[in-house]
Amino acid sequence: MYLLGIDIGGTKCAVVLAKGVSANGIICEGIADRYEFETMAAKRGPDSVLEELAFSAEKIFKRNFIRAIDIAKIGISCGGPLDSERGIIKSPPNLPGWDDVHIKEFFEKRFYVPVYLQNDANACALAEHRFGAGKGYKNVIFLTCGTGMGAGIIINGELYTGRNDMAGEVGHISLSEQGPLGYGKRGSFEGYCSGNGIANLAFEKLKEWTKSGNKSSLSANLEKGELSAKAVFEAMYAGDELAKRVMTTSAEFLGKGIAVLADILNPEIVIIGSIFTRNADFYLPIVTETVKREALRECSEDLKIVPSMLGDSIGDYAALGIIVDNIELTDN
């Protein structure tokens, strides 16, 4: 018995194959194969991406000498908003043009296999809760901190999705009246703390910085059209003062956002992926101090803030974890 996981992000997509799941939800033989490609969402529509995902799956089948009939279930992880029950992607901010995409129907018709769709933040929360840093905790928040910013929320050991699958859209929260644009709103959590938000913040600060007669290596990135969160971090680690100020601002607002969530949901642990995981040594002191200052003492004093234990593999396990969460499977 094989499982197929599909992870759709604003930057890249991945298709992963795993062999079997035991009754207690452990992937028996790990990830057997995977294929990854750039989404290029701004340059092509969903139809093209779906076809490449299906073609990638077919290549994996061929490489592993299996057929679609050998796949028990398919799990799809994608940024929200979406309708998980009907399997429809509904205009995620980081996937322009993905308006009411019936992805469940597409793959069920293509491969004749049951398909489950889940918000990527929810899927990552499930993966960390089952396989990673959230294991053993009953109240968990996972923050994506990638191209966008979303949250997966585990309350009393169960995923909380809200009335219509919109729980956890924390990127839309306002943290200031003015600030970088994210999720269609200036000064939002996503605007300050996501990959796209960091790039926007750097762009705005760079204009002010150079106007005052200061220099920054980020100017070269801007001229090349390569001003990204990755470029800002690289500049900061190389000693660029503006880049350090941009990232310190972003880290402080990440702490403020977590403080809001801590006061409302009172979690035991907050797990943060992607950009935070790769730069945890920089983030943690600033974020921890900000949360301690901003949140109620009772909500912050025992709160653990940690990077994703699953690291760069979390998207793979998130897509597969959707299947495990939806149905009990036993070894074949």
CA distance 70 to 24: 21
Question: What's the confidence (pLDDT) of residue 329?
Answer: 41
In the predicted model, what is the mean pLDDT of the chain? 92
Whether 204 has a pLDDT exceeding 80, the answer reads: yes
82: left (phi over 0), alpha (psi -120 to 50) or beta: beta
Domains and CATH numbers, the chain: 2-127+312-326 (3.30.420.40), 133-309 (3.30.420.40)
pLDDT tens, residue by residue, 26-37:
554 678 899 999
Tokens linked to 278: 């790769």
CA distance 321 to 5: 9
pLDDT category at 25 given cuts 50, 70, 90 is low
pLDDT category at 11 given cuts 50, 70, 90 is confident
Tokens linked to 121: 């933040």
pLDDT tens, residue by residue, 313-323:
898 989 988 88
Q: What is the pTM of this model?
A: 0.88
Instruction: Identify whether the C-beta of residue 153 lies closer than 8 Å to the C-beta of residue 118.
Output: no
pLDDT tens, residue by residue, 258-315:
999 999 999 999 999 999 999 999 999 999 999 999 999 999 999 999 999 999 889 8
pLDDT category at 24 given cuts 50, 70, 90 is low
Beta bridge partner(s), residue 47: none
pLDDT category at 130 given cuts 50, 70, 90 is confident
pLDDT tens, residue by residue, 53-79:
999 999 999 999 999 999 999 999 998
Q: Amino acid identity, residue 197?
A: G
Question: What's the confidence (pLDDT) of residue 57?
Answer: 98
* CB atoms inside a 10 Å sphere around CB 292: 14
40: left (phi over 0), alpha (psi -120 to 50) or beta: left
